[in-house]
Amino acid sequence: MKYPKALNTLISNLQKLPGVGKKTAERYCFDLISWSPEDTESFAYHLSVLKKKISSCKTCNALMDMEDEKSCKYCDPDKRDPKHLCILSSQKDLFSIEGTHMYLGMYHILDGLLSPSDNFSPKDLHLEALKSRIERLGIQEIILALDSTLEGDATSLFLKKELEGKNVRISRLALGMPIGSSLDFIDEGTLSKALSERTLF
């Protein structure tokens, strides 16, 4: 199908989004064409400045507003419990945990799970930085809040083995999360129960 060149380019870019195939990308494009010039320009502007307005905390890797770059609210020992560290695989998962209002400890975001197909290996976990942080904060409990998938299980087992000598309690979210599920798709009620009933791992 021969669409105008600009439309084909946009369709190709939209297909880079997870879960967006060619037909969905085409539907999005034709909907965008119907937007007013003001709405299109506003959308394009906010998309263009997205990476200029947010950054990642150099300590925990959580997303934060660029203007707050010197102060991550998730690393503030006056507002968070520095004895508990919740390990996550993605920055989005932090907001899922925060939505339960049940956890007030620190976070450590890996930015991926062990997966040969994705070229994500143990060196990408930056274990030395994690171990150093555990010692520096005097962490008493590590909560492995990783996806209940093959990659998530493999990463949890690897981390458990690497951190066992740190004299800390290592726990994992309780069952109740469907096998093969990502935190991204778990409702807050189920996630709250899994967090409160976490077990030793």
The DSSP bridge pattern shows strands 54-56 and 199-200 to be unpaired
**Alpha-carbon torsion angle 178, 180, 185, 189, nearest 10:** 20
Q: Which residue has the higher pLDDT, 60 or 201?
A: 60
Token pair in block for residue 37: 């010039």
pTM of the model: 0.78
Q: What is the mean pLDDT of residues 154-159?
A: 93
What are the DSSP E strand ranges found in 30-120? Answer: 54-56, 63-65, 81-88, 105-109
Answer whether 107's CB lies under 8 Å from 88's CB. yes
The phi, psi pair for 97, rounded to 5°, reads: -65, -45
Q: What is the mean pLDDT of residues 36-50?
A: 95
- The string of DSSP letters for 60-72 reads T--EEEGGGTT--
Q: What is the pLDDT of residue 148?
A: 82
Query: In this prediction, what percent of the chain has a pLDDT beyond 90?
Result: 68
Q: Is residue 43 scored above 70 in pLDDT? A: yes
Q: What is the pLDDT of residue 199?
A: 64
Q: Is residue 158 scored above 90 in pLDDT? A: yes
Q: Is residue 192 scored above 60 in pLDDT? A: yes
Q: Give the number of other CB atoms < 10 A from CB of residue 144.
A: 23
